[in-house]
Amino acid sequence: MHGSSDVGRLVDRRPSVTPERLIDQLIPPPTFAEVSFATYKPDPAEPSQAAAVQACQRFCEQAVQRRAGKKKLFGKREVLPGVGVYLDGGFGVGKTHLLASSYYAMSGPREFKRAFATFGELTQLAGVFGFVECIDLLSDYVLVCIDEFELDDPGNTTLISRLLSALVERGVSVAATSNTLPEQLGEGRFAAQDFLREINTLAAMFTTVRIEGPDYRHRDLPPAPEPPSDAEVAERAAAVPGATLDDFDALCAHLATMHPSRYLSLIEGVSGVFITGVRPIDDQSVALRLVSLTDRLYDAGIPVVASGAKLDTVFSAEMLAGGFRKKYLRATSRLLALTAAGQAGRTIT
């Protein structure tokens, strides 16, 4: 390929997502396709990490026992409520690794039904199938894993609280990760006190496991590199088969035309994402869509090369001081890892 005109653009893609596709997507992302409890390497200086592995293994054993139920007279079984584990910690301490390991621990001689979804994917699933149908769909699962548990608005708070309560009653166990303790979910984002009942219902389902440690993504990760020029980005994109090249503002506008559940399909088959004209964002909804895209890119291990503002300045200081602070910091951490890979011309591992 010899010219930027040959390079595809994300803004030209209009993906659609069928309900079947949504179900098929309920698996750990490619980055975590090979993980297990054995491949998690606890930091000897952080005893909470080794303790978290043991807590997750115990949780998996309990989840299987709960699903099997209790024997009653005449060989019948009584369904026992599911259990919950909540992995709380900062960025890059291995929460998603342990969550995916819990998912994979459910395979064996008996293949148990289990699902792995981001919080956004779970709310989307309920939106597509309907609340009651979503409960029916998941009620015979052993385990539902929810990555990056977020409560961004009152509707989602109520929806997920009731959905998980119904599933747990039916013997489904729930594992979740977040940067926020259950009783603090929703703080600073909406009138949390109005929804304390739902939030407390959620908190009561989980045993909280705290994981301490530095962000492994920033171990040996240099600060944000000096961005290349627009011309360099276009030239590099043209040299990478399967890459896309987009203007930052145009891409942000395109993301607004579709639900974030389609972002995974949007980047399907893309080998690298090249963006020109990055600038700081001061619109919350634009920023949150960029966070969702960043998560999908990170999950898929797709490197990023961008010109314009440094990627650690995309979210303004004002935004980092608000209710979505943790979300933006996580996205910045992931963008730095993606651009480090882009600089080196490799995928994320």
Average pLDDT over residues 197-223: 71
The domain locations on the chain are 4-14+217-344, 44-212
Residues 6+ apart with CB under 8 A from 78: 69, 70, 71, 72
The pLDDT tens digits of the residues spanning 65-115 come to 888 876 666 666 777 899 999 898 877 788 999 999 999 998 765 668 999
44-212 folds as Rossmann fold (3.40.50)
DSSP-derived pairing of the beta strands 77-78 and 70-71: antiparallel
Q: Contact 176/206 with Cβ under 8 angstroms?
A: yes
List phi, psi (to 5°) of 212. -100, 165
CA dist 210 and 200 (Å) reads 18
Q: What is the pLDDT of residue 35?
A: 94
Q: What is the pLDDT of residue 73?
A: 64
Q: Contact 176/202 with Cβ under 8 angstroms?
A: no
Nearest CA-CA partner of 106 in 55, 36, 48, 169: 36
Q: What is the pLDDT of residue 191?
A: 47
The pLDDT tens digits of the residues spanning 311-329 come to 889 998 888 887 777 788 8
Supply the mean pLDDT for the chain. Answer: 84
Q: What is the pTM of this model?
A: 0.73
CA dist 158 and 131 (Å) reads 11
With the C-alpha atoms ordered 242, 16, 14, 118, is the resulting torsion angle positive or negative? negative
Token reading at 82: 């599911």
**Percent of the chain's residues with pLDDT above 70:** 84
Token reading at 295: 């998560």
CA dist 299 and 288 (Å) reads 17
Q: E strand or H helix at 108, and its extent?
A: none
Average pLDDT over residues 203-209: 84
In whole angstroms, how large is the CA radius of gyration of the chain? 21
